[in-house]
Amino acid sequence: MSGVTTFLTRRRGGRFWHWTDIVSWLWLVGGLVIMFGPAVWLVGSSFKTPAQLAEFPPTILPYVSQQASVEGHDKPLTLYRVKQADGSTKVMAEVRRIGIVAQMVDPKAPKDIIKVNIADRQPVREIGFATGNYTEPFVHFDFMRYLRNSVFVTAMATLITLLTNSMAAFALSKYKFRGRDLTMLLIVGTLMVPLSVILVPLYSVVSAVGLLDSLWGVILPTVATPTGVFLLRQYMLTIPDELLDAARMDNASEWQIYWRIVLPLAAPALAVLAIFSVVWRWNDFLWPLVVLSRKELYTLQVGLNTYAGQLNVQWHYILAMTVVTMIPVVLVFVFLQRYITSGIAGTGLK
């Protein structure tokens, strides 16, 4: 027995468990629960019916009340397990409820209505998923439109960011011209100009150029990211100039050099920027909130916040739509997390 324990607790390097190892593992497992737990709880809750969401204490898994159609009633009736006078239980269907007394029938003998105190019964439930939470918001609310708007904003902003940032980075890394250092300084200097500092004047500028209440008004102010220019320029500096000169010898135009040589070689950096940009634009909240006032133009984030801010919050829909909003980011996390972490570790930028 002691041999097994020794084997299980043996560590690499031949040392035995130190108290710091136990603390470390507790911290990591605790971290796993705290970091993923809330999201898992959200997904679980999003499959519950409104009645179940209002219950306390909440159940971990989603349940659905069983229903049955009973002769003489048009709608299916909810089934309950009723405790009877002799202590046995019996499954019955509820016809209607008045105060604390429910009128119930035995599905096998639908004629006789029996009065039951609601304290003496429990709904018959099975694990089930209220998938309507996911399908109904797309039909009854504007969530399909919000989703489309978010996809449009994210895709367009990312494409324009990649194009304009890489062009600027190309000029700043491969040409010598007057004012180059000044331009670079200007870009890096505004790296730290946050949206909240220029919120009011930016709004007036966007309204002056006629982009208020349009998705382009959401897209354009975000695309000239200093982070992107900086990241791409640092990468392009590592591409040898000799390669460009060789292409010039072969009569390639400057545009062709940019398009056919530098862009393909900068693909890894472009990929990192693309991933960043998708996450940024998908998650943007304050700026779309300010610039969009027509409801049909809302992005998912703004739409979610609006529905969640109403007096009578329909949590079953909100939770499901929160999960939908989370999906692209979870996909990025599962498949592309590596690129982001290496991007951050390399540049210290987010």
Contact positions with another protein (CB under 8 A) in 109-168:
163-165, 167-168
C-alpha span between 339 and 85 (Å, rounded)? 66
Give whichever of 16 and 175 is closer to another protein, judged by the CB atom.
Answer: 175
Q: Please, are residues 318 and 308 in contact by the beta-carbon 8 Å criterion?
A: yes
Restricted to residues 182-211, the positions that interact with another protein (CB under 8 A) are 183, 186-187, 190, 192-194, 196-209
Taking each helix axis from N to C end, the angle separating 315-347 and 143-174, rounded to the nearest 10 degrees, works out to: 10
Q: Does 51 bind another protein (CB under 8 A)?
A: no
Q: What b/e sequence results for 226-264 when a residue is b if at least 16 CB atoms lie within 10 Å of its CB, and e otherwise? A: bbbbbbbbebbeebeeeebeebeeeebeeeebbeebbbe
Residue 250 in contact with residue 185, Cβ under 8 Å?
A: no
DSSP notation for 251-264: T--HHHIIIIIIHH
Per-residue x/- track, 294-313, another protein (CB under 8 A)? -------x--xx--xx----
Q: Which stretch binds another protein (CB under 8 A): 74-82, 108-116, 140-148, 171-179?
A: 171-179
Say how far apart CA 254 and CA 10 lie, in whole Å: 62
Number of residues that bind another protein (CB under 8 A): 95
- Helix axes of 315-347 and 132-140: crossing angle, nearest 10 degrees: 100
Q: Do the Cβ atoms of 250 and 139 come closer than 8 Å?
A: no
User: Do 124 and 79 touch, CB atoms closer than 8 A?
Assistant: yes
Which span (88-96, 113-121, 141-149, 334-342) binds another protein, by CB under 8 A? Answer: 334-342
Q: Which residue's CB is nearer to another protein, number 82 or number 244?
A: 244
Binding-site member from 82, 279, 292, 320 for another protein (CB under 8 A):
279
Our CB check for another protein shows the closer of 118 and 308 to be: 308
Draw the binding track, 52-91, toward another protein (x: CB under 8 A; -: no contact): -xxxxxx---------------------------------
Q: In the complex with another protein, which residue's Cβ is closer, 63 or 282?
A: 282
State the binding string over 4-43 for another protein (x if CB under 8 A, else -): --------xx------x---x--xx--xx-xxx-xx-xx-
Sole binder of another protein in the list 155, 156, 224, 265 (CB under 8 A)? 224
Interaction residues for another protein, span 230-259 (CB under 8 A): 253-256, 258-259
